[in-house]
Amino acid sequence: MIKLNCKVKDFELPATGDKAIHLSDYLGRNVVIYLYPKDSTPGCTTEGQDFRDNYKYFQQCNTEILGMSRDSIRAHENFKTKQSFPFDLLSDKDETVCKQFDVIKLKKNYGREYMGIERSTFLIDTSGKLHKEWRKVKVKGHVEEVLESVKMLYSAQIKGA
């Protein structure tokens, strides 16, 4: 399991655009990984749209956004296209990375219990260390909070450079 201020173990996952993405591809940049339950559901759509609408501000702070769920690449491609997401969506069908981030939790919906992704976001710094995490995320206002943390991290990185 990952810990704050520790290096995040590298991973490789299939992504939209017929890519295989490694976390190590982003060394030298900050990375926001947001894990969400399911493509094209109301909360996940709103969260993705909020990241999309603020994407240019994350880019200005040397930060890439990656969305991740257990959905298939085909479902991700449809979701990304329909919502015009400028960032990639990664498919973790076997839950390898989800388990690394400890986001697979017992969930309840209409009296039914099942194992699913607990909406969570992780900010990884330019050296690949976990800088901040948000768990049990509520969508409203979340992206703004993440962006503020990114701005503070980027400002500290510029001052330290």
Tell me the catalytic residues: 44
The closest alpha carbon to 61, from 154, 142, 144, 156, belongs to: 154
Tokens standing for residue 104: 């697979």
Angle at 98 between CA 150 and CA 133, to 5 degrees: 25
What is the DSSP annotation of 54-77?
A: THHHHHHTTEEEEEEESS-HHHHH
